[in-house]
Structure 1
Amino acid sequence: MMVLNMYRFTFTLPLLLLCTLVGCEPHPFAGGTALPDGSVYSGGMENGLFHGHGKLTWPDGRTYTGEFHRGRISGLGKFDYGDGCIYEGAFRNGELHGEGRYACEENIWEGDFEQGEIRRGTVSWDNGETYTGEFQDWQPHGRGLLTTAEGTEYEGRFENGLPVNGSYRDRLGYSYRGGFEYFQYAGEGELIQPDGTMVRANFEYGEANGEGVLILPDGTGELQEQKGFFVSGRYYPSEQAWRQSEQDQRSAVEARLYSEAERLQAQFSALAPQRPGVRDVYLLAVGGDGTSPVFAKEVEWVTERLGTVFDIEQRQIKLSNGGGDKYPLATRTSIRESLKALDRIMDPEEDLLLLHLVSHGDENGDFLLAEAKVQLNDLSVADAKQWLDALEVRHQWIVVSACYSGLWKEALAGPERTIFTSAAPDRTSFGCSDDSERTWFSAALYSDALDTGVNDPAAWFAAAKQRVMEMEKEQGIEEDAYSLPQLALGREFLSWWNSPN
């Protein structure tokens, strides 16, 4: 389901001047009639009252041009509020009343006005959304149809700008009929999915929960009903079946936690020793967020690709969340212990530590660590710097593919390090959706760019950065939202890297 984040333009209209000459003590002059409030009238008069076509101008820039009747603004006219908002249409006794059009910046209300407010009609907001129906206090209220910029439709009864009951349709093929709360499915309802599957249940926060019915097409045009129990939209044959599933998952998590130390030690024991006189490369690859499958897939692919240019078959540690139990979990503890294990086996002067980190990133630079059913602490830039600084191995090549990863470059850059990051400190990066095979930066870095060779780190990075910009342009991303991958190339690192083995 699409959950709509609505923007509403609300305001209070100023009361229009109800002006008569009686008791106003106007002062006629060549340019019109001046009133005590500083406004000036020019136009028709009858029996000492404004009457017929005329114009009122206020000192603050407001103007009204149109019809007057017996000293009052009544009939057809145009009111310019002087702040970019204009009403054109019918007035009665100084108020918006009858057919009219109110435009404020790029927000436009058109329809029937009564006593200064729109009651029935259409509004077009500057975010591309439209609504046709009934209004109260300038918001959708009563029967109506709201259409988002993406083509999603909410039709039914609205209260205070929000749908409360009716139907939902979107371009993906989802449709729903029932209650709403803050644009999410709520209460009794019926959801039809694009494949024809139907769910009748009570909905909470947009998902089916509790007892309900799952209706499946059987391929012959017939529908099969299955009573059951829903939890966050997932169907179970019964509440007992759900509880058993939860218990089984917790048991599996418990068993895995007890085996983590052994699994991690097995990876350490499989490491090949350092070879004197050879510049060995040792890799630590970490996939952080197990709730997004792309990161676990990337760890596998990156390791495979790096194996084409470095002899790392027995010189690698892979930590991954969300990829089953093939590798140890990526946690703060496993990352730190893996760095220590590599440091113990490597020659501090001769070998290279290559670290590849991929996950979601927070605005403060935190590297997200997450696994279903297990609550993990994230890895901060400060802690990563402390751990890496404490290693004896001097030469470190660090690649971070995560949003806001430029903060890692700023913190970790040093003369004996090379840092590649997928984004600037204030930018997000791309390619981390569930249907992606790998992040865009890693796809660029380890595909064609890797084939050009790793002898020149700056050239390797430049080729990857150029490809990322091409991908962003191809996908229609605005230039001010480009990820802007970052490079820090330590001078001593480069001198060592270019020296003979």
Structure 2
Amino acid sequence: MNRGRIILGIVAALLAAPALSQSSAPTPVQPPPHTAPWPDLGSGESRAERRKSFELSPELQRGARPAEVREQRRRLDAALAALQPQRAGVAEAYVLTVALDSDPVFAREAREASRVLAARYGAEGRTLTLAGPDGTRDDAPHGSISALLLAISHLGSVMDGGEDVLVLYTTSHGADIGLAYHYGDSGYGILSPVSLKRALEEAGIRRRVLILSACYSGVFVPALASPDTAILTAAAATRSSFGCVAENDWTFFGDALINRALRQPVSLEEAAREAGRAVADWEAKARFLASLPQVSIGGEVGTWLPALEAGKPRIASAPVGRPAFDETVLATARAKKAPPAAPQ
């Protein structure tokens, strides 16, 4: 996306096409469709003023019934209360996964990512998933910017900030101003790198493994990089990532990293390399512009990550769900002269 375009145009262009991916009326376990235009969340006349406004992570809720708001708050409060406190002298992982869009591919990915990461890092009882309905269930607090920031704040109160590790996985659409929050026609927002950095710092969470799956997610690397932070992103700051069609079980990056590489007995860095190679191969076969996943490992991460990864799988487990890349589907799509998947 051309950075010279108006910020609102960037968001609208990125989200308008996927917004049409769901057309059926929602049922209790079906995600709400995107049908309404993306609203203007910025303020100010100039591009610089609007970008500054987006850095504050605006979030809009409209048309939500009070009973729905109360139910989501009840779910979030219960999930936060259920998290086990840290044990003094034991470096433990807390896993937080969040789907920031109601397209069900993101909810499916966030749910399975929580299982894979919790098993890899021994975080049973210390794992929280924020995800909406995925077509089969609606049993978790829904993902939103406010829910994510509240969860980070709460984790800061139960973790030992200098000893424990936050493993954060986000999956959504994105723009060059941050991660997009979009729930049906009622929830909209932008989570900026500045806001995420501030939330982590205010929570006192120093040791971090941050995995961000979205277009342009590389914009988070400069803001979040630190000696005690490992960052893996689905794309460079100027590139799209792929596979976010609502009907999918995985995005390209989620399938390659979570569903395949991190199920193997390899280090995080090797998993990132394997995932990057897989994504590059799929994109080349699909003739997509390379997303260029980013990896940034702080200089101090090596002092604590190996101990945390001592519990990584000894034997690789099989991927689950439908592959994000299928050459048969791709060939059929090409024969119809239609793209096989929409970019995030």
Q: Please confirm whether the aligned pair reaches a TM-score higher than 0.5, indicating the same fold.
A: yes
TM-aligned CA deviation for residue 306 of structure 1: 1.7
Task: Report the alpha carbon displacement of residue 437 of structure 1 after superposing the two structures with TM.
Answer: 0.7
- Equivalent residue number for residue 495 of structure 1: 303
> In structure 1, what is the equivalent of residue 183 of structure 2?
371
**2:142 match:** 329
Residue 458 in structure 1 maps to residue 269 in structure 2: yes
Residue 343 of structure 1 is matched in structure 2 by 156
Identify the residue that residue 402 of structure 1 maps to in structure 2. Answer: 214
Alignment of 1:55-454 (within 5 A): 253-290=65-102, 292-323=103-134, 325-364=138-177, 366-453=178-265
Q: Secondary structure at the match of 2:239?
A: coil
How large is the RMSD of aligned CA atoms in angstroms?
2.4
- Deviations along 1:301-354, one digit per CA (max 9) or x if unpaired, are 111222331222211111123446411122222111100111111112221100
Q: How far apart are the structure 1 equivalents of 2:217 and 2:189?
A: 18
Identify if the C-alpha distance between structure 1 residues 256 and 279 changes in structure 2 by more than 3 Å, giving closer, same or farther: same
Amino acid at match of 2:220: W
SS of equivalent residue, structure 1 residue 437: coil
Q: Determine helix, strand or coil for the equivalent of 1:279.
A: coil
Secondary structure of the equivalent of 2:180?
A: coil
Q: Is the 8 A contact 2:96 2:114 kept in 1?
A: no
Q: Counterpart of 2:183 in structure 1: which amino acid?
A: E
Higher relative contact order (CA 8 A, sep 6+): 2
- Give me the whole-angstrom Cα distance separating, in 1, the residues matched to 2:290 and 2:86: 41
How many Å apart are 1:468 and its aligned residue? Answer: 0.8
CA distance 1:376–1:308, change in 2 (3 Å): same
In the alignment, which residue of structure 1 is the partner of 2:7?
A: none
Greater fraction of residues in strand: 1
SS in 1 for 2:119: coil
Number of residues of Structure 1 aligned to a counterpart in Structure 2: 250
Deviation, structure 1 residue 395: 0.3
User: Structure 1 residues 251 and 401, CA, compared in 2 at 3 Å: closer, same or farther?
Assistant: closer
Closer/same/farther in 2, CA of residues 390 and 251 from structure 1, 3 Å limit: closer
Structure (1/2) with the larger helix percentage:
2
**Cα distance in structure 2, aligned partners of 1:467 and 1:276:** 40
Kept after mapping to 1: 8 A contact 2:63/2:186 = no
Does the CA-based 8 Å contact 1:453-1:460 persist in structure 2? no
Q: Is the 8 A contact 1:287 1:320 kept in 2?
A: yes
Query: CA 1:340 to 1:233, structure 2 compared with 1: closer, same or farther past 3 Å?
Result: closer
Alpha-carbon contact 1:413-1:488 (below 8 Å) kept: yes
* Aligned residue identity for 1:288: L
> Which residue of 2 is the match for residue 475 of structure 1?
286
Secondary structure of the equivalent of 1:389?
Answer: helix
CA distance in 2, matches of 1:305, 1:264: 21
1:20 equivalent in structure 2 = none
Q: Structure 2 stretches of 5 or more lacking a match?
A: 1-21, 26-61, 311-344
Name the SS for the 1:463 alignment partner: helix
Q: 1:260–1:462: structure 2 CA closer, same or farther, 3 Å change rule?
A: same
Deviation at 1:294, TM superposition (A): 0.5
Contact kept, 8 Å, 1:273 with 1:345, in 2: the verdict is yes
After superposition, the Cα gap between the structure-2 partners of 1:233 and 1:372, relative to the gap in structure 1 and judged at 3 Å, is closer
- CA distance in structure 2 between the aligned counterparts of 1:304 and 1:233, rounded to whole angstroms: 30
Q: How does 1:47-58 map to 2 (within 5 A)?
A: none
Q: In 2, are the aligned partners of 1:307 and 1:313 still within 8 Å (CA)?
A: yes
State the secondary structure of the residue aligned to 1:273. Answer: coil
Does the Cα contact within 8 Å between 1:322 and 1:371 map onto a contact in 2? no
The question of whether the paired residues in 2 share the 8 Å contact of 1:322 and 1:372 is answered with: no
Q: Distance in 2 between matches of 1:375 and 1:277?
A: 41
Q: Which residue identity does 1:312 align to in structure 2?
A: A
Question: 1:251 deviation in Å?
Answer: 9.2
Give, as a single letter, the amino acid of the residue that structure 2 aligns with 1:342.
L
The alpha-carbon distance between structure 1 residues 453 and 391, as it changes in their structure 2 partners (threshold 3 A), is farther
Match of 1:438, SS state, is: coil
- The runs of at least 4 aligned residues of structure 1 exceeding 6 Å deviation read 232-235
Q: Residue type matched to 1:361 in 2?
A: G
Contact 1:253 1:374 in 2 (8 A): no
Normalization by structure 2: what TM-score? 0.67
How far 1:234 sits from its partner (Å)? Answer: 7.3
> For 1:228-264, what per-residue CA distance to the aligned partner results, in whole angstroms no more than 9, with x for missing partners?
xxxx9879xxxxxxxxxxxxxx998432112222211
Name the CA shift for 1:259/1:493 in 2 (closer, same or farther; >3 Å).
Answer: same
Deviation at 1:379, TM superposition (A): 1.2
User: Quick one: percent identity of the two aligned structures?
Assistant: 32
> What is the distance in 1 between the residues matched to 2:90 and 2:236?
35
Assess if the C-alpha contact under 8 Å between 2:155 and 2:203 holds in 1.
no
Amino acid at match of 1:306: L
Give, in whole Å, the separation in 2 of the partners of 1:372 and 1:253: 14
3-state SS of the aligned residue for 2:139? coil
Distance 2:143 2:305 in 1: 29
